[in-house]
C-alpha cells in the first residue's frame, strides 16, 4: 500500500512538470502567430506565478479542510482544463486569462507534497519525487518539438499535454480513498510520539536565524531554473541559429538533465550529505552557464544546457529536505510555505526581468544573467550553513552552561 501511495505522489509531480516547459519551447512560433513580442512570454509567466503563490499560501488551509487527495486531484483538473483551453486560444489575451487556472492548479500540490515528503521520507525519495517532475518537464517540450516539426503546430502540442493531464486526473480521483487512509495512518503514528523540543517554536518565522537568507537561495534557484527553460529556446534560435523545432528538442535535454540528475541523486544521497549535493550542483550549473557564454560551436550550448540541468537536479530537492533538519520538524510546515513563496517569487521576478533586459540588449545576455543568479544562490546557501552552524553551537553552549 505504501509503495502504491508513493507512486500516486510521483504521478502528481509528473502532472506538475508537464506544462512547465511548454511555453518556452513553443514561444518562438507562438509569438509570431499571436502577434506578440518576444518578452510577452514574461507576462504569462508572471500571471502563472502569481496564482501559484496565492494557492501555495492557502494550501495548508485547503488540505486541512478537504485532504491532500482531493486538493491534488482538483488542482490537476484545473491545469488540464487550462492546457486544453490554451490549445484553442485565438489571441494572446486568452493565454493570460488561462494562466490563472494553470497557476492555481500548481501551488497547493507543490507546497503540500514537498512538506509531506520532507517530513516522512528520506532525501532519496525527495530527489526521486522531483525526478518525476523532470520526467513531465522533459516529455512536454519533446511532444511540443514533434508537433512543431509538422506545420509549426504548437496547438497540437498543448492539446496532447492537456489530454495526458486529463488521464492523470482520472487516476488521482480514483486514488482519493487511498490518500485518506494513508493520512489517517500517519496521524495515528505521530499522535503516539513525543513532540520534539524546538527553541524557535514561538519565534516569528522571519526572525529565526537563516530563514531570510535561505529564502534568497530559493529565490535565485527557481529564477535560474525557469529562466533557462523559458528563454533557452529563444537563445538557441536567435543567437545560435537553430531551427525552432531543433531548439525545442534541445531544451527538452536541459529538462532531461534535471530528470536524470535527480534520479542519480536519489542514490548518491545515501553517500553524500544534502549540503554537499547542493554545493556540487551549484558548481556544475555555473560551469554550464559559462559554457553557454563562451563563443563556441552551438553543440557546446547543448552541453551547457545539459550541465545546467544536471547541476540544478539535486539543489532544489536537497534544499527542501534540509528545512526540517535546519529549522526543526515542528516549524517545517510554516517555513516550507514561506520558502515556497520565495521560490515562486524568484520565478515571478527574475525571468521577466531577464526578458526585459533581453528586449533591450538582446537575448545573448542570457548566460551572463544565469551566471549572476547561480553565484548569488551559492553565496546565500553557504551563508545559511554558517548561520545555522553558529546557532547550533550557541544552543549547545547554553545547554552545557
Concatenated DSSP letters for 336-361? HHHHHHHHHHHHHHHHHHHHHHHHHH
Mean pLDDT across 51-72: 80
- Distance between CA atoms of 235 and 354, rounded to whole angstroms? 12
- Distance between CA atoms of 356 and 364, rounded to whole angstroms? 13
pLDDT score recorded for residue 106: 78
pLDDT score recorded for residue 203: 60
Cβ neighbors of 121 (< 8 A, separation 6 or more) are 6, 129
Q: Which of 98, 80, 102, 107 has its CA nearest to residue 167?
A: 80
3-state percent helix, strand, coil for the chain, nearest multiple of 5: 85, 0, 15
CA dihedral 286→290→292→296, nearest 10 degrees, is -150
Q: What DSSP designation does 270 have?
A: T
pLDDT score recorded for residue 333: 65
Q: Which of 166, 100, 141 has its CA nearest to residue 246?
A: 141
| Domain presence at residue 191 | no
Mean pLDDT across 194-222: 74
pLDDT score recorded for residue 399: 61
- Label residue 291 by pLDDT band (50, 70, 90): very high
> Is pLDDT above 90 for 283?
yes
| Domain presence at residue 1 | no
* pLDDT tens-digit map of 69-117: 888 888 889 999 999 999 999 999 999 999 999 998 877 777 767 777 7
Cα–Cα distances in Å, from 126 out to 21, 199, 217, 267, 317? 21, 27, 18, 11, 6
Residue 187 in grid coordinates: 496521524
Domain total of the chain: 1
Return the CATH number at 100.
1.20.1250.20
Report yes or no: 346 and 218 within 8 Å, Cβ to Cβ. yes
| Domain presence at residue 198 | no
| Domain presence at residue 192 | no
* pLDDT tens-digit map of 221-230: 999 998 998 8
| Domain presence at residue 281 | yes
- Label residue 54 by pLDDT band (50, 70, 90): confident
Report how many helices (DSSP H) and strands (DSSP E) the chain contains, helices first.
15, 0
Report yes or no: 333 and 117 within 8 Å, Cβ to Cβ. no
Instruction: Tell whether pTM > 0.85.
Output: no
> Is pLDDT above 90 for 323?
no
Report yes or no: 134 and 316 within 8 Å, Cβ to Cβ. no
Share of the chain above pLDDT 90, in %: 26
- Label residue 194 by pLDDT band (50, 70, 90): low
Residue 110 in grid coordinates: 507543490
| Domain presence at residue 213 | yes
> Is pLDDT above 90 for 298?
no
| Domain presence at residue 240 | yes
pLDDT score recorded for residue 286: 96
Expressed as residue numbers, the domain containing 223 is: 8-183+205-396
- Distance between CA atoms of 70 and 75, rounded to whole angstroms? 8
Identify the residue whose cell numbers are 489571441. 91
| Domain presence at residue 193 | no
Burial of 254 (0-12, 13-18, 19+ CB in 10 A): buried
Amino acid at each position: 500500500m505504501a509503495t502504491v501511495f508513493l507512486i500516486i505522489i510521483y504521478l502528481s509531480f509528473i502532472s506538475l512538470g508537464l506544462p512547465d516547459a511548454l511555453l518556452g519551447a513553443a514561444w518562438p512560433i507562438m509569438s509570431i502567430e499571436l502577434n506578440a513580442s518576444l518578452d510577452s512570454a514574461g507576462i504569462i509567466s508572471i500571471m502563472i506565478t502569481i496564482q501559484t503563490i496565492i494557492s501555495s499560501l492557502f494550501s495548508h488551509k485547503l488540505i486541512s479542510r478537504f485532504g491532500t487527495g482531493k486538493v491534488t486531484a482538483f488542482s490537476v483538473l484545473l491545469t488540464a482544463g487550462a492546457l486544453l483551453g490554451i490549445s484553442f486560444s485565438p489571441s494572446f489575451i486568452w493565454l493570460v486569462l488561462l494562466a490563472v487556472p494553470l497557476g492555481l492548479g500548481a501551488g497547493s500540490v507543490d507546497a503540500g507534497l514537498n512538506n509531506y515528503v520532507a517530513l516522512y521520507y528520506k532525501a532519496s525519495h525527495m530527489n526521486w519525487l522531483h525526478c518525476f517532475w523532470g520526467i513531465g518537464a522533459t516529455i512536454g517540450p519533446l511532444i511540443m518539438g514533434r508537433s512543431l516539426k509538422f506545420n509549426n503546430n504548437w496547438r497540437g502540442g498543448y492539446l496532447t499535454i492537456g489530454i495526458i493531464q486529463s488521464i492523470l486526473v482520472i487516476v488521482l480521483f480514483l486514488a482519493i480513498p487511498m490518500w485518506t487512509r494513508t493520512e489517517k495512518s500517519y496521524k495515528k503514528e505521530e499522535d503516539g510520539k513525543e513532540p520534539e523540543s524546538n527553541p524557535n517554536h514561538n519565534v516569528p518565522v522571519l526572525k529565526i536565524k537563516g530563514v531570510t537568507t535561505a529564502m534568497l537561495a530559493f529565490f535565485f534557484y527557481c529564477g535560474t531554473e525557469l529562466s533557462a527553460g523559458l528563454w533557452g529556446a529563444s537563445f538557441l534560435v536567435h543567437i545560435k541559429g537553430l531551427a525552432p523545432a531543433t531548439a525545442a528538442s534541445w531544451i527538452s535535454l536541459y529538462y532531461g538533465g534535471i530528470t536524470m540528475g535527480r534520479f542519480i541523486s536519489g542514490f548518491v544521497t545515501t553517500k553524500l550529505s544534502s549540503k554537499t549535493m547542493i554545493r556540487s550542483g551549484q558548481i556544475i550549473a555555473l560551469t554550464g552557464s559559462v559554457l553557454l557564454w563562451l563563443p563556441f560551436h552551438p553543440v557546446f550550448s547543448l552541453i551547457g544546457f545539459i550541465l545546467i540541468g544536471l547541476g540544478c537536479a539535486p539543489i532544489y530537492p536537497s534544499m527542501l529536505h534540509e528545512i526540517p533538519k535546519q529549522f526543526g520538524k515542528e516549524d517545517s510546515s510554516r517555513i516550507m510555505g514561506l520558502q515556497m513563496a520565495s521560490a515562486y517569487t524568484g520565478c515571478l521576478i527574475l525571468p521577466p526581468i531577464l526578458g526585459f533586459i533581453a528586449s533591450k540588449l538582446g537575448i545573448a545576455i542570457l548566460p551572463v544573467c544565469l551566471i549572476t543568479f547561480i553565484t548569488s544562490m551559492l553565496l546565500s546557501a553557504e551563508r545559511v550553513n554558517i548561520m545555522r552552524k553558529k546557532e547550533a553551537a550557541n544552543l549547545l553552549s547554553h545547554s552545557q552552561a
